[in-house]
């Protein structure tokens, strides 16, 4: 999707028409305007570009069900943000619904930032930066396994994304090949 088409879509789908510039900035840096982008989080994030909406829904649902933390859609929303935006694994890949949800999430963050600052432009800048800085945590949280909820709306195929369950603090296990299956060992001979 090109920036001009995205701007037209924001004007059509966003809760308020004055969100074109901030939402464009968020989406440009998050996904480069790719509505079917899925990023599997980890030490080195893995971006996956689906070829169509059905494939994107399937890939995201499978990744979530297997315990992966994912970011999806135009704004690369994680499970918590997807829920806050009122989206599901299926609706996050509908560009118009994603923009509407992102607009609601942006407005909520803007109201919170406006309470702390009297300058609206500065508050907007802070909110846009908050979307950019969300994945750059210096102290990563312990690994958890989010799950797709078992209940699905059979008429639309929507599956809600649950937030990760808190995990017990554990020491990391060595998994040399990141297979996650049983135990791995690195053996060599001299």
Cα distance between residue 7 and residue 112, in whole Å? 25
Residue 18 within any structural domain of the chain: yes
78 domain-assigned:
yes
The pair of three-digit structure tokens given for residue 51, joined into one six-digit string? 């070829």
User: Rounded to whole angstroms, how far apart are CA atoms 13 and 100?
Assistant: 6
pLDDT band per the 50, 70, 90 thresholds, residue 175: low
Q: In this predicted model, what pLDDT tens digit does every residue of 46-105 receive, in sequence order?
A: 999 999 999 999 999 999 999 999 999 999 999 999 999 999 988 999 999 999 999 999
To the question of pTM greater than 0.95 for the whole model, the response is no
Beta bridge partners of 70: 40
Strands (E) in the chain, as ranges, are 37-40, 46-49, 70-72, 148-153, 158-161
Compute the residue count for the chain. Answer: 190
Q: Is residue 175 part of a domain?
A: no
Span of 5-19, 103-117, 125-139, 166-180 with lowest mean pLDDT: 166-180
Average pLDDT over residues 22-50: 93
Domain that holds residue 124: 3-161
- Distance of alpha carbon 30 from alpha carbon 99, whole angstroms: 13
- Total structural domains within the chain: 1
Domain membership of residue 171 (yes or no) is no
Q: Which pLDDT score is estimated for 17?
A: 76
**Structural domain includes residue 77:** yes
Calculate Rg over the CA atoms of the chain: 18
Is there a domain that residue 145 lies in? Answer: yes
CA 84 and chain centroid, separation? 11
DSSP 130-146: HHHHTT--SSPPPP---
């Amino acid at each position: 999707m090109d920036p001009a088409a995205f701007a037209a879509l924001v004007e059509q789908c966003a809760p308020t028409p004055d969100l074109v510039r901030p939402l464009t900035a968020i989406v440009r840096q998050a996904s480069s305007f790719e509505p079917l982008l899925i990023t599997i989080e980890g030490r080195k994030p893995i971006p996956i570009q689906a070829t169509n909406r059905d494939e994107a829904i399937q890939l995201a649902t499978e990744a979530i069900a297997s315990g992966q933390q994912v970011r999806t859609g135009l704004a690369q929303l994680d499970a918590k943000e997807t829920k806050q935006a009122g989206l599901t694994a299926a609706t996050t890949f509908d560009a118009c619904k994603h923009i509407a949800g992102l607009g609601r999430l942006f407005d909520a963050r803007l109201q919170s930032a406006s309470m702390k600052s009297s300058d609206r432009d500065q508050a907007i800048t802070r909110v846009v930066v908050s979307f950019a800085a969300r994945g750059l945590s210096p102290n990563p949280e312990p690994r958890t396994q989010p799950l797709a909820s078992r209940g699905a709306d059979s008429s639309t195929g929507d599956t809600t994304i649950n937030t990760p369950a808190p995990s017990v603090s554990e020491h990391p296990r060595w998994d040399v090949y990141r297979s996650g299956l049983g135990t791995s060992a690195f053996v060599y001979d001299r």
